[in-house]
Amino acid sequence: EPEVTQTPSHQVTQMGQEVILRCVPISNHLYFYWYRQILGQKVEFLVSFYNNEISEKSEIFDDQFSVERPDGSNFTLKIRSTKLEDSAMYFCASSALRDRDSGYTFGSGTRLTVV
């Protein structure tokens, strides 16, 4: 069964450092997403990406965040200057159609710890 692959599974970084979280979506999917889950809290939408541009983003997704699809297979989330409150599990997801029509396939997540 096709999978969404995320690397690394766990990353520790110092406050103020830049981090890049990597995702390989399912190959024939067209819509890509990042969500995050702070420990003990809800899964929160960050951003959706379609046709090489952001289609929607939440208020969490401020100027410190950016996404990129640098090639035909990877989808990355960059945090420019990490803060303690960025510590969370970050999930990448992809879908063949808009999420309402198909539901997502999620990756296993990257646990980001900012110290």
Partner 1 sequence: AQSVTQPDIHITVSEGASLELRCNYSYGATPYLFWYVQSPGQGLQLLLKYFSGDTLVQGIKGFEAEFKRSQSSFNLRKPSVHWSDAAEYFCAVVRGGGFKTIFGAGTRLFVKA
Please report whether residue 15 would count as binding partner 1 according to CB under 8 A: no
Quote the CA–CA distance of 38 and 85 in Å, as a whole number: 9
**Binding-site member from 42, 52, 53, 59 for partner 1 (CB under 8 A):** 42
The H or E element spanning position 23 is strand 19-24
Please report whether residue 105 would count as binding partner 1 according to CB under 8 A: yes
| Secondary structure class of 92 (helix, strand, coil) | strand
| Secondary structure class of 61 (helix, strand, coil) | coil
CB atoms within 10 A of CB 22: 16
Nearer of residues 71 and 101 to partner 1, judged by Cβ: 101
Q: Find out whether 46 and 35 touch, Cβ atoms under 8 Å.
A: yes
Please report whether residue 4 would count as binding partner 1 according to CB under 8 A: yes
Q: How far is the CB of 19 from partner 1 (least distance, A)?
A: 19
Nearer of residues 7 and 17 to partner 1, judged by Cβ: 7
Q: Find out whether 1 and 67 touch, Cβ atoms under 8 Å.
A: no
* Binding flags for partner 1, 55-74, as an x/- string (CB under 8 A): xx-x----------------
Using CB under 8 A, list all residues that contact partner 1.
4, 6, 31, 33, 41-45, 48, 50, 55-56, 58, 91, 93, 98-109
